[in-house]
């Protein structure tokens, strides 16, 4: 899928403008045609966001460039990439799947809880062993539907990275811009199952979550969490419009790939265009606790998942064919996405790499909101969540001091692409009171 100079020469100025390469001085690319697919005007967007997104569709879509829209053209198309949880859907699909699995005894007891993660602490392993017991054999389902303390311990570690007793659940060394242990732990919890089984659990959880009314909650042990999930109508329309306009649209998520694939299919995105944590399988075709690596890094227990800088790596590697350590670096204009969308700091790097529009749903996450409100290139678009938007954040985002998570886990200032520090920003795109 690499964009090459000979290809651009054959397609002329229109393709050069679309793919971001230079054109001769004084030359002008043809004006985009006006019949590109249009975003629905019946669905509300904040401010001028719909118009800004439509402008990118009109400028970059193959609908505006006859050479690229031709049935004889087999080269790369413009790319849009989106996070999933709270970007395309309201609420977390991983939590929905875990909650369903815990209520239906689908987590298999590991031989040793320490085997499930490279960073699980002794305190967390002991807490899990005590809460979940050893009365069922290794590889058998844990009775989490009846044993509340077991469900509680698993969910607390997944969601808060600590035990129910307050001890740190993960410790050690990892690159905090490439992974987070509690995210990597999710597919590891399903070790011993086949991808088809996990797909089935996700489909069942999805059906329940879509049927539950907006605002519904559910119990996981003693935890109360959202009991519903909804596809955002605006995002469904955006994805469909981009696809009709000739974009390749991808999902890039820090969730488990079989889980994400079930949900992405619901908006017409196939497995080929869904990127998430990829578990290695054993000889029997069952999920293991080892995940694929990225950017020349070996397979590991979750050291290089699609998380912050890891999302850039997976996009560069899987979409643009950039291999080895170069995949961790920002690429030239022609090898970057046109539109990126996310809601959290885990998305800030790849959304920032977009050349046409950086769409951010406001969940008050420091680094991405600092980048969005600073709006360095004039292409950042902030939108309140389409369902149950957050009210205005009263305090300023601490952009100049602690908004960015560094590789070692320390907090530092958020920075622009040129390295300068972003001053503190105030919330201005919000909902509610």
pLDDT exceeds 60 at position 14: no
If we measure between CA atoms, which residue out of 93, 85, 49, 68 comes closest to residue 238?
Answer: 49
Q: How far apart are the first and last CA of the chain?
A: 47
Confidence of residue 27 (pLDDT cuts 50, 70, 90): very low
pLDDT on residue 6: 32
Distance between CA atoms of residues 59 and 36, nearest Å: 9
pLDDT exceeds 90 at position 20: no
pLDDT on residue 11: 36
b/e code 124-153 from CB counts within 10 Å (16+ = b): bbebbbebbeeeeeeeeebbbeebebbbbb
What the block records as the tokens of 57 is 């569709």
State the pTM of this model: 0.92
- The pLDDT of 388-393, averaged and rounded, is 97
pLDDT, greater one: 72 or 39: 39
At 195, is the secondary structure helix, strand, or coil?
helix
Q: Which residues have CB under 8 Å from 272's CB, separation 6+?
A: none
Q: What is the mean pLDDT of the chain?
A: 92
């Amino acid at each position: 899928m690499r964009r090459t100079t000979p290809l651009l020469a054959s397609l002329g100025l229109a393709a050069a403008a679309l793919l971001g390469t230079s054109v001769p001085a004084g030359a002008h690319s043809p004006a985009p045609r006006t019949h590109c697919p249009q975003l629905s005007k019946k669905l509300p967007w904040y401010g001028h966001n719909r118009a800004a997104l439509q402008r990118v569709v009109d400028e970059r879509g193959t609908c505006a460039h006859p050479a690229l829209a031709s049935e004889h053209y087999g080269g790369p198309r413009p790319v849009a990439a989106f996070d999933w949880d709270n970007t395309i859907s309201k609420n977390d699909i991983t939590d929905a799947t875990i909650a369903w699995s815990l209520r239906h005894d689908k987590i298999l007891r590991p031989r040793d809880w320490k085997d499930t993660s490279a960073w699980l602490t002794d305190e967390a392993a002991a807490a899990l062993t005590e809460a979940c017991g050893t009365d069922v054999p290794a590889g058998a389902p844990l009775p989490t539907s009846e044993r509340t303390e077991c469900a509680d311990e698993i969910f607390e570690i997944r969601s808060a990275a600590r035990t129910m007793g307050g001890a740190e659940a993960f410790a050690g060394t990892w690159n905090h811009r490439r992974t987070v242990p509690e995210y990597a732990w999710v597919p590891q919890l399903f070790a011993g199952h086949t991808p088809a089984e996990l797909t089935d659990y996700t489909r069942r959880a999805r059906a329940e979550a879509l049927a539950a009314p907006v605002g519904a909650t559910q119990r996981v042990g003693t935890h109360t969490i959202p009991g519903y999930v909804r596809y955002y109508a605006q995002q469904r329309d955006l994805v469909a419009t981009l696809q009709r306009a000739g974009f390749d649209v991808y999902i890039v998520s820090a969730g488990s790939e079989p889980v994400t694939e079930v949900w992405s299919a619901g908006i017409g995105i196939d497995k080929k265009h869904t990127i998430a944590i990829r578990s290695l399988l054993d000889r029997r075709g069952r999920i293991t606790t080892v995940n694929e690596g990225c950017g020349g890094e070996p397979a590991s227990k979750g050291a290089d998942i699609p998380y912050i800088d890891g999302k850039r790596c997976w996009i560069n590697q899987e979409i643009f064919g950039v291999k080895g350590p170069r995949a961790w670096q920002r690429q030239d204009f022609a090898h970057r996405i046109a539109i990126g969308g996310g809601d959290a700091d885990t998305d800030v790097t790849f959304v920032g790499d977009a050349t046409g529009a950086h769409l951010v749903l406001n969940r008050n996450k420091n680094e991405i909101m600092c980048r969005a409100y600073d709006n360095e290139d004039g292409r950042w678009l902030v939108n309140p969540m389409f369902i149950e938007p957050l009210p205005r954040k009263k305090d300023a985002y601490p952009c100049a001091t602690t908004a960015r998570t560094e590789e070692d886990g320390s907090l530092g200032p958020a920075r622009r692409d040129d390295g300068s520090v972003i001053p503190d920003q105030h919330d201005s795109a919000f909902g509610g009171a």
